[in-house]
Structure formats: C-alpha cells, structure tokens
Structure 1
Amino acid sequence: MSNGNVASLYVVATPIGNLEDLSSRAARLLGEVAVIAAEDTRHTGRLLRHLGLSVPMLSLHEHNEAARVEQLDARLVAGESVALVSDAGTPLISDPGFVLVRELRARGRRIVPVPGACALVAALSAAGLPTDRFTFQGFLPAKGAGRRGRLELLAAREETLVFYESPHRIRDTLTDLATVLGERRLVLARELTKTFETFLDGSAAELLIRMEVDPDQVRGEFVVMVAGAPPREEDEAAVVEGEALMAALLAEGVGVKQVAAVASRVLGGAKKVWYARAQALKDMSV
C-alpha cells in the first residue's frame, strides 16, 4: 500500500476519451487498492482490462452513494485503501462522490486526490475565451423554464460561463442561450480527446444553423463555454459623488490611500480605481 501504508480513499481522475491520458500514478494506484468504487463497473472494467488489472469493484452512483459510505469506511478502518472513479474525468465534478468524500473527511479519513483529465479544464484550455475567471454551472436544468431562469440569473456575470450538456438537449440549450444572451460568443467542445474532437465557435444562433446543416455536430457530450457579459458602464452619478467625497476628505488632510478605501467601501468599486482618481484630485489641487 502506498503513502506510508496509511489506508486512503484515492479520488482518481480517469481519461475522458484518450486512454493515454491516464497518469502512471493513477494506473499504479488502481492496481494497488483493495477495491475500486466505480460509477459504472462495466465502464471501469474496460479500463482495467486495458491496463491488464483485475481489481474488485463495487458500484457507487447517485442512487446508492449514501448507502456505500459505511461499507467503504469499514474498508478504510480495516486498513484497506479504496479508489473512487467516475466513468470519465475527475470524480465529483458533475459526477458522484461528494457525499462519500464529505462523510469520510468528517470522520477523519485520509482523502488523496490523484489529478488528471477534467473536461471543463481541457475545453477551456483550447477555447480562446478568458480563463482568468470563470463560473462552472455543471448541467443546466433539463426543463426549458428552469434553464432560462438559470441563464437569466447568470446573464450579467462578466466571467466566462461554462456548462456541460448532453447531445439530446444541446439544441434546446442553444435556443435558450440565443433567447437570453443574444449574440454573445460561444465555444462548444465535443468529443474531447477522441477521434472526432471538435470545437465550434460562434453565436448560439450560428451554431444552431451549423447543427442543422451537419447533424453529426450534435453527437457526443458537450462543454458549452459562453463569453462573459461586457463590463458595466460606470454610474456617472456615483463617480461625481465619489469625487466630491474624496475632495472633501483630501481637503481635511486624509491620505490618498485612506480616501480610496473610504470611497470603495461607501460607493463600491475597485479600491485601485478610486486611488487613481484620488491621486489625480490631489495632484490638481497642488
């Protein structure tokens, strides 16, 4: 057993398509654990056969996860390590495992991440959309009203929006994206790391037309990435109010840094922006 012979739950990322993406560490640990908790044992069985491994498995999915906690905890208490895998990618990321990890961590058990493939990260890395900030929303609601409601809540967010979507709902989701977000730029990633990996770029309406022309573009699981909303224009009244406040504080001898902090706290906005304005006001008064 690895890592100082301490029984551990290894949260193991598995390939999202290309089997060469499995790390050597992940392959080794899958062969060392006493049991593998798999979202679908048939799917994981194919991976194990590819690796030439024969390891006991048990299913762990959304319908039985809570019931598996005691069984797997007993294994850890007995000194046996366990691997947790999903069908593809990193467990817990829109896949089962959260309940198990939460409960075992609360009991003081050792949880070890074994990083690897993750569809949303792989998609973002090649999409050409801003990645300094993004919001991952998993799967949008299946029904139209719920989906549009969620999109309306996110419409003003300025960071890149990321969703997962299935092939049988992708057209409906694109229709709702066009309705709620208009002409905003989208990138769809499908069949990641597989033979027919494809990135589609355009507005939601444009991508719907491409799918009508080429029905093959509806196949596979999707990562949907949407450009964030444009930055909101500054409220001129707030700027005027802020400058008046800062001018009064500067006249009382308050330092520029403190003035900017007060303006940011009272009126909102970035402290560095108010600092630049306060400095400009001070310079003009000299």
Structure 2
Amino acid sequence: MTDTSIYTQTGVDTGEAGFGDYFALLKPRVMSLVVFTALVGLLVAPVPVHPMVGFASILFIAVGGGASGALNMWWDADIDALMRRTKSRPVPSGKVEAREALGVGMALAGFSVVMLGLASNIVAAGLLAFTIFFYAVVYTIWLKRLTPQNIVIGGAAGAFPPMIGWAVATGGVSVEAVLMFMVIFMWTPPHFWALALFMKSDYSDAGVPMLNVTHGRKVTRNHILAYTVLLAPIAIGTAFTSIGGPVYLVTAVALNLWFLKGAVQIWRRNDAAADADDYKVEKAFFRFSLLYLFLHFGALLADAALRSSGSGIF
C-alpha cells in the first residue's frame, strides 16, 4: 500500500472531503447487492422476523458491507490510482486520506457487528465479523496481489450476506443458506473475469495478478465457461429445496441457459475478434451477469410470497 501523500504531488484534488466522498468510501453499489441478497436470505427463511428486528439487522449488515469497502479502499489506494475504473475513488483522488478511510472502516466494522449481535443473535454477528475480516484481510490484503485465484477465493466475502440474513431469522445455517452462498460464490469468477477481459491493461498496469494477466485471455475464457457450467446445476438445483418454487425454477432455467450461451460465445472468441468489436460480447456478458444474480434472488422472493399467501405449488 502507498501513502496518499503521493497523490498531493501530482495535482490531484486534495480539498476538504464532503459527505458524498465518505459515502463513496462505502462502495454503495456493492452495498446495494449486499443489502438485497441479505434481505432475501432473511425473508425466505422459515422463521418469521419482527419488522423492526429485520430492518435493524439489514441496516447493520449494510453498514458492515460499507466498512469492508472503506477498508478495501484504504489498502488498495496505490493500485486504485493506476486503474481507469478506480482512479476517481475518494482515496486515490486525494479527497479522503488513507488513514481516514481506515478509521471509518474500523469504526463501522465494530459498530455493525456489535449492533447486529444486539439486534438479532450472535451467529449472525459472528458471520458478519468473519465476512468483513475475509474481505478486508484475506482477500484485499493477502490474496488480491498474491494469486490469480484471488477473485475465486475472495468471492466468498460477497457470498455471505444471504447466509447472514438467514442466520438473523433462524439463528443458524442450513442447506438452503449454503446454496444461496454457492450461487453467488460460483457466479463471482465469471462475472469479474468478463470485466477483466474488456478492461484490458488495467490490472496489468496495477500489478494485480488477475487470471487474464498471469495466464492470458484464452485461459480466462476457458475458466469463464467452466465456472458457468458448474454454476448452472447449483442455481437450478436450489429450486428443489424449501426456498425454491415454480417461479424460481423457470427463472433459473432460462437465466442459466442464457448465461451458458454467453459463456460459450466468450469461449469461442479470440483477441483479434474481441479487439475488432471493442469486446462487445464480454461487456454484454458482464452486464447480464448483474441481472442474472438480481433475478435469481428476486425469484426466491416471489416464491416466498406465493408460499406465504397459500398459493405455493412446491
């Protein structure tokens, strides 16, 4: 990690940070995914939760997700400054100092874990604490700059929120919670590797050993297809558990067929073809991957609503 003083020497804005800059530290777009999947985990659980307990729990899970984002930006300030996608973030742009990002992250992490424990139970709080640690330490500090498997192993951090939501309701973990975890865990590598393909030199410029940097784009395309093939049965199989149903089954089959089609298209590509059309296939796959995850979890909610109304089929 590099001290942010280097940014003041290159003409980067170092004026006083505003609320928006500190909010950006929390990676609000990532936080929105954390909130949504955690909420789904809570609502599809077989144990009802009082609305106030549920609201407070989701709020503290969101704060914990934001803490992870701030700690990530603190440590990664040096490489963020070298990548087009991240150079305008608060720390590399000089709007927020690295030590401030560290302070915000640590404070929010402690606050979120303690308050979630008080609002719900110790299992949920423990899972949140482990998630923050995994993202900030295991992924950001250790794996990200060490191995091309960084996003594979590190993806577990983004997969924990529905499990935490489930634990808020039930006080434990079950097969259903693990399957929700696995859908996100297996989805993460193809999602990020597609991004890495069309970001081209960003990761190599920053010295981050993403798979396309260390093993080339062809190997990356092979891995995207392999993980997409492995993801499909997990995603579709979730339909046949207590949280699945007809809406989810139809949605999962359609989405995974489409996802597989996109992965095969990427697998068949070569660098010349991708460069010629500005990586349109990879960009389309990446955009669809966001919709893929949202619709899977949205379908779980729809089936939960059907069950609660007494209209469920499964």
Greater relative CO, 1 or 2 (CA 8 Å, sep 6+): 2
Bigger strand fraction: 1
Note whether the superposition's TM-score is higher than 0.5: no
Bigger helix fraction: 2
TM-score (norm 1): 0.24
TM-score (norm 2): 0.22
Larger Rg: 1
